[in-house]
Structure 1
């Protein structure tokens, strides 16, 4: 296969992924605004909805971010009443995060977000799941060993 360099923008994989992310973000934004969450805060909440009571480091690892990036998000989520942070008595360096009842209740409100994404995509649930699997495989390939 012949390639011209640099590739035209519309043929660059990075740009396609980036612009798709931005488009998805625009669909998320009005829903997240109603919940009072930014997208990064929403991701943190998703991690905690999957497995509550985690360390800042564990959340950062799950999201492939630095703990220093997660800390300000946690402060804002705590101020909003969604989480509580506590130092681990066994290791004072470690901060544990738990959802509050309010934080758990927000999860139910995100169901309409998933429906909006599927509707807007024009794809079936199986097609979106397949695309998600393929994008994760691509991510993992770029991460390397």
Structure 2
């Protein structure tokens, strides 16, 4: 899971608009201290969605070209609470390392803000039969192997 997060620069975001319609988008991200941070523009649709309702889901997924089997791409998804935070030099520095200093310096002069996503729970999938539920206990992510319930299989 750590490699998947470290090796990807963007994540997929699911947010809700004012009418509670699900909207999908993406954003560059950084991961620090078991939290995710996204840097998004005020004109992006998901910006106001997240401001109005911080309950979001995100997914980081292995590129199709790198997957052995597209049905079992490595991926991690999280649900959590997103809130806009003040610019933070440490977070901005991580964005610069991961996304590039030139682009981040340009974006900093524009209408972008940092949102912090506190992870509540999630699921990590690493191929067939290798799924792990994730829970956050005191800001520590705990993974637990998912077992098939034979009473509920078809």
Q: Larger % of helix: which?
A: 1
TM value normalised by structure 1: 0.28
TM-score (norm: length of structure 2): 0.27
Normalized per residue, which structure has more strand?
A: 2
Higher relative contact order (CA 8 A, sep 6+): 2
